[in-house]
Amino acid sequence: MALQISATNPEHPTLLLDLPWQLPLAEWPERHLVPLPRGISRHVVRYARAGDEVVAVKELAERPALREYELLRGLDRIGIPAVDPLAVVTGRTDGDGEPLEPVLITRHLRGSQPYRSMFETTMRPGTVHRLMDALAVLLVRLHLAGFAWGDCSLSNTLFRRDAGAYAAYLVDAETGEFQPSLSAGQRGYDIELATMNISGEMLDLEAAGALHPSLDPIAFGTEVGQRYEELWDELTRTSVYPAGKRHHIERRIRRLNDLGFDVAEMQIAHNSNGDTVTFVPKVVDAGHHQRQLLRLTGLDAEENQARRLLGDLESWMATQEDYEPDDPLGARPEVLAHRWVREVFRPTVRTVSTEIRRAMDPAELYHELLEHRWYLSQRAQHDVGLDAAAQDYLRTIAPQRLREAEAGE
């Protein structure tokens, strides 16, 4: 059987031709390999250079290789964080004409690491918890898409940090399966496997002296399942909001924040009964919101203030007709953020008296106005709007803020 390289992109087979397919993967010469950290795998895996690309090459039987390739392509089409499939190579033979195992080729996820390399130095418990939250986010997104993983573990995941955000990416889809939707039993099976696998992997880290002494491996594996359930319940509750009622959307954002998750993306679908809102969660590091707010708007704020302002910006952007997160022709977030500053933030701050504006930082003032609107809206059970909140703030809160400012002087 002749060597065959099956790929969806016609450029990929050309890039891969120079690799030594006549050799077992374990015997590939160093000149073809890239020394990147590898996770634990039941298969032989190597990183190699193919043209300008760094690719991961995994040996496995033909049928599972082709199946995993198609599963990864399916995940890519629906935007699930997973490695990018490039090709499957079959018909490999050695110098004596003896058959060699086919290989699955995926693009190396730049900036990612397997969990063991991240634990080479003992990680702080807070960082470990954020990584596990990122894994819970990945599992929830897979299940929402109708994908049963079948082997959720740290070993089958890559972790990536980007501007303070943590994300988990699926690496091994060999045992996965797409369904129209998953039953509670199917989801529970994935969670049970994840709990068992993660606890075992954490025990291995503990035995190697790479786990912080305050972390209990068994309790930690169980916690991943608990975090998954909390996030699943919050994201799958069906809520239809009256058109334009941002107060209800902000309530959902706050609940996600209280669980320790941020909102990476929000989509609003309009229908005759009202608006349905879909949230995509993310996990962030300390200081992330400050940096993001400053980058998008030029506003400098404390972390909690920045989180609140970004939540308002995100919910406002989702209501704009030209905001299409998946459409390259839609307005970019930076453009919308500057429009928000010009049309929402500055006019709102200017509704407050000059004395208050002199006594308070603009970001802090806007944060307090948002908080005041939140409490008024909760009491009224509807969104009272920023203008009404600002007027009430002037009557009830502003005098106290002025007294505090004068006492501070």
Tell me the per-residue pLDDT of 60-111, one tens digit each, with 9 for 90 and over: 999 999 999 999 999 999 888 899 999 999 999 988 889 999 999 999 988 7
Task: Give the pLDDT of residue 328.
Answer: 47
How confident is the model over 327-354, as a mean pLDDT?
Answer: 80
> For all residues of the chain together, what is the average pLDDT?
82
Q: Are 215 and 339 in contact (CB under 8 A)?
A: no
Task: Give the pLDDT of residue 149.
Answer: 95
- DSSP secondary structure letters along 152-164: --STTEEEEEETT
pLDDT tens-digit map of 305-324 = 888 888 888 888 877 877 66
Element spanning 53, H or E? strand 53-59
Residue range 113-236, CATH number: 1.10.510.10
Task: Give the pLDDT of residue 164.
Answer: 56
Structure tokens at 369: 């106005």
Sheet-wide strand order for 53-59? 4-6, 84-90, 103-107, 53-59, 45-50
| pLDDT band of 285, cuts 50, 70, 90 | low
Query: Under DSSP, is residue 91 helix (H, G, I), strand (E, B) or coil?
Result: coil
Q: Given a cut of 50, is residue 329 above it in pLDDT? A: no
Has this prediction a pTM greater than 0.85?
A: no
How confident is the model over 218-237, as a mean pLDDT?
Answer: 85
Q: Within 10 A of 314 (CB to CB), how many other CB atoms are there?
A: 23
Structure tokens at 42: 């039941």
Task: Give the pLDDT of residue 409.
Answer: 46
Residue range 4-108, CATH number: 3.30.200.120
Residue ranges of domains in the chain: 4-108, 113-236, 240-408
Distance between the two ends of the chain, CA-based, in angstroms? Answer: 85
Element spanning 85, H or E? strand 84-90
How confident is the model over 350-362, as a mean pLDDT?
Answer: 79
| pLDDT band of 5, cuts 50, 70, 90 | confident
Q: Cα dist. 271→242, 252, 268, 318 in Å?
A: 10, 19, 10, 15
